[in-house]
């Protein structure tokens, strides 16, 4: 079974001098449905190479949670997580390892590759429609969940990324890298119960499982 490394959100614990790593437990089931083992990655001193090589990772998923520091009006930022994810992006692209960004993870890939972020209204805790490009692996129109108020405007998409889907307001909802082994989606497959077959099929293909 292939091992997929998943980045984790950072939460400050009220009343305690602690910042804890956290990962939605549903990600383990999603990875299992793809025939893979989810391996949570610590936000600590270990380098990206140490984690990927030491844990024998086949690919990486950058998950949701926390604002990317470059987002407008960013709050609940996690600099140690930002550093690790940027290093993972560089390593994956350099080695040709499969990389998938989900929500914040997609935003981080875009920023790391020279794009920028904006803010949007009415996309947190609601479903909405997206329109897919001709070469996207989904129907031309589909409904997805949404838990973000930070977005990627189409003009903010990094030069090396290609749009696969857009929201009704024009924001980028999915992309792939020109090199082909890096993808991003703004919706959360792990928050569907059960996970949708089209999302599992897409992620399985994107992560080359």
- How do residues 142-160 score in pLDDT, each as one tens digit? 999 988 889 999 999 999 9
Say what percent of the chain tops pLDDT 90.
85
Helix axes 197-206, 26-33, angle to 10 degrees: 70
pTM for the model stands at 0.97
What's the CA gap between 184 and 173, in Å, rounded? 8
pLDDT in tens, 97-144: 999 999 999 999 999 999 999 998 877 788 899 999 988 888 899 999
Does the pLDDT of residue 28 top 90, yes or no?
yes
Per-residue pLDDT at 11: 93
Contact criterion met (CB below 8 Å) for 40 and 74: no
Residues 19-29, mean pLDDT to the nearest whole number: 96
CA torsion angle for 144, 149, 154, 160 (degrees, to 10)? Answer: -90
pLDDT, position 161: 98
| Segments making up each domain of the chain, as ranges | 2-206
* Phi, psi of 143, rounded to the nearest 5 degrees: -100, 135
Please state which CATH number belongs to domain 2-206.
3.40.50.880
Question: pLDDT category, 30, cuts 50, 70, 90?
Answer: very high
Confidence of residue 32 (pLDDT cuts 50, 70, 90): very high
């Amino acid at each position: 079974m292939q091992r997929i490394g998943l980045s984790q959100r950072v939460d400050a614990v009220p009343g305690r001098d602690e910042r804890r790593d956290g990962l939605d437990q549903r990600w383990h089931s999603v990875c299992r449905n793809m025939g893979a083992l989810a391996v949570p990655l610590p936000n600590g001193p270990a380098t990206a190479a140490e984690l990927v090589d030491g844990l024998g990772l086949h690919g990486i998923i950058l998950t949701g949670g926390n604002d990317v520091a470059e987002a407008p009006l960013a709050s609940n930022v996690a600099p140690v997580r930002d550093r690790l994810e940027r290093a993972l992006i560089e390593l994956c692209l350099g080695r040709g390892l499969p990389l998938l960004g989900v929500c914040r993870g997609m935003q981080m890939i875009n920023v790391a590759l020279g794009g920028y972020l904006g803010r949007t209204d009415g996309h947190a805790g609601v479903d909405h429609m997206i329109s897919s490009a001709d070469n996207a692996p989904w129907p031309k129109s589909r409904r997805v969940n949404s838990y973000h108020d930070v977005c990627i405007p189409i003009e903010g998409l990094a030069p090396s990324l290609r749009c696969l889907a857009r929201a009704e307001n024009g924001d980028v909802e999915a992309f792939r890298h020109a090199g082909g082994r890096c993808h991003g989606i703004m919706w959360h497959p792990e928050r569907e119960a059960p996970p949708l077959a089209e999302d599992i099929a897409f992620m399985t293909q994107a992560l080359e499982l």
